Amino acid sequence: MIREHENVRDYLSSVCSQIRARELHKDIRRELESHLEELVLDKEAEGASREEAVAWAIRQMGDPVAVGRELHRIHKPRIHWGLLLGLIAFLGLGVFAMYSIESSYAAMHPNVYGDYFSTRKLRFIALGLPVLLVFYFMDYRKLKAWSLFMYGAAAFGMIYVILFGNQVNGARSYLSIWRFSIDLTTVTSYLFIAAAAGLLLDWRGQKRHFWLKSMLAFVIVPVMFYIMVPSLPTLLFYLVSYGILCGVVTRKWWLALLQTGGTLLLLGGAFLIRYYLSQRVLAFLNPDRDPSGAGYMYIQMKEALSSAGWWGHGFGAVNPKLPYVHSELIFTYLVYSFGWGVGIAVAVAAVYFVARLLHSMGQVRETYGKMLIVAATSIIGAQFGYCIGMSLGLLPITSVVLPFVSYGGTHTLVEMAVVGLVLGVYRRKDMIRLGRTF
C-alpha cells in the first residue's frame, strides 16, 4: 500500500509535525494518504513507475511544512474569549461583593464576621480552576458513553441525600464530607441534564418508545426525587432546562412543552393548595396584605431598591432589614450599595454571557457538543433571569443564587465546571472532522 512507502511516511510525518492537535493526526494521515493514492494510481496509469509516481504525487501535494501549517491554522484549538472574559468578570464581581458584604455584616455584628465570605469565595474559585481546566482539556465526546452512568450516579446521589442528607432551610439536600458540605441536589440536576443530552440522542435514533422512556427517566423520576427533598428551585430549573433540551433534540416543541410545562402546571396547582406556599404567593402578589409576615421581605426589597438611586449607598452599606444578601438577595444588595447603574450593568453582563453561550452553540457543528451547550445555556440562563427578577420583586422569593457571584461552594464549582465544558466543546469545534452534524 502507498502508506508503506518510505517517502510517503516521511511526507505525512512532516505534515503532522506542524499540527499540534495530535488527535487529528490519524484522520489527516488517512485523508492525505487517500489523495496521494489517487495521484499515484493516475500517474502509474500513464506508464510511470511506482517511484516516479510517488515522487510526482508528493510534489503535487506541496511543501509538507506549508501544508501542515495551513492545516494547523484551520484545525487548531479555539478559545472563546468572550465567554472566558465574562466568567472572569462575574467571579471578580463575586469576590468584590463578598468584601463589601463582610464590611456590612461586620458593622452590624462586629464580634461575629471577619473575612469569612471573601476568603471562602476565593477558595471556592481556586478549587474551581483545576476543575474548569480538566473539563476544558478533556475530550467531551467521551462523556456520551458515560451518560447512563451519570444518570445512575444522579439517582443514587438523590436517594442517599433523601435518606442521610443534612437538612438546611427545610430541605435535606446537603451531604457533609469532612469539613465540606456539598449541595447534592444542585450537582445531581446537572448530572441529570448531562445524561439527558446523551441518552436523548441515542433514544431518538432508536425511535422506539422515545417519549415514554424520556418521560419516565427525565421527568417523573427526577420530579419525585426533588419533591421528596424538597427542592423546588432545583426542580424548576431542571424542568426548564430539560424541556428546552428535549425540544432541541426532537424538534417537536409542543410535545416537549407538554412533558415539562404540563408537569410544572400540575405541581404548581398541587403546591398552591398547601397553606404556606399559597401564603407566599399571596404575599408576592400583595405584600401589604401581611407587611410583618410573608410580605415583609418584598416591602424591604422595594424600599432598598427605591432608596438606591444611581450611585447607591456605597461600599459596605448597612441594611439590617435585608438578610442573606450574600446569597439569594445579592443582586438587591449590589443595587442598594452601588446604585442602579451597577445593577443595570450586571443585568446587561448576564445577557451578554448567555448570548456568548448561544454564540458558542452556533459555532459548534457536532451534535452532542451542541446539546451539552444547550443544556448549560438553559440552566444558567434561567438562574440568571430568575435571580435578577426575584431581586427586583418581579418573581417570588426562593433559594436561587446569582451564578458565579453569590456565596456558596457547590454552585461555584459546578458552574465553573460547566463553563469549562462549554469552552472545551468550543475548543474542539474545528478539530472534529468526522462528528455527526446537527
- In terms of phi and psi (left: phi > 0; alpha: psi -120 to 50; beta: otherwise), the region of 73 is alpha
* CA max distance for the chain: 98
Other CB atoms within 10 A of residue 190 CB: 22
- In terms of phi and psi (left: phi > 0; alpha: psi -120 to 50; beta: otherwise), the region of 172 is beta
Other CB atoms within 10 A of residue 13 CB: 13
- Inter-residue contact 373 to 314 (CB < 8 Å): no
- Inter-residue contact 10 to 126 (CB < 8 Å): no
Other CB atoms within 10 A of residue 175 CB: 19
Residues paired with residue 180 on neighbouring β-strands, in sequence order: 177
Q: What is the DSSP letter of 437?
A: B
Residues paired with residue 166 on neighbouring β-strands, in sequence order: 174
CB-neighbour burial class of residue 53 (10 A; exposed 0-12, middle 13-18, buried 19+)? buried
Distance (Å, whole) CA 378 – CA 259: 17
Task: Encode the chain (438 residues) as per-residue pLDDT tens digits.
Answer: 677 778 888 888 888 888 877 777 887 888 888 888 888 888 888 888 888 888 888 888 888 888 888 877 777 778 899 999 999 999 999 999 999 998 888 887 766 555 578 889 999 999 999 999 999 999 899 999 999 999 999 999 999 999 888 877 667 788 877 777 888 999 999 999 999 999 999 998 777 789 999 999 999 899 889 888 888 889 889 999 999 999 999 999 888 888 887 777 766 655 555 555 567 777 788 888 878 787 888 999 999 999 999 999 999 888 888 877 888 899 999 999 999 999 999 999 999 999 999 999 988 988 999 999 999 999 999 999 999 999 998 998 888 999 999 998 899 999 999 999 999 999 988 776 544 444
Distance (Å, whole) CA 426 – CA 364: 6
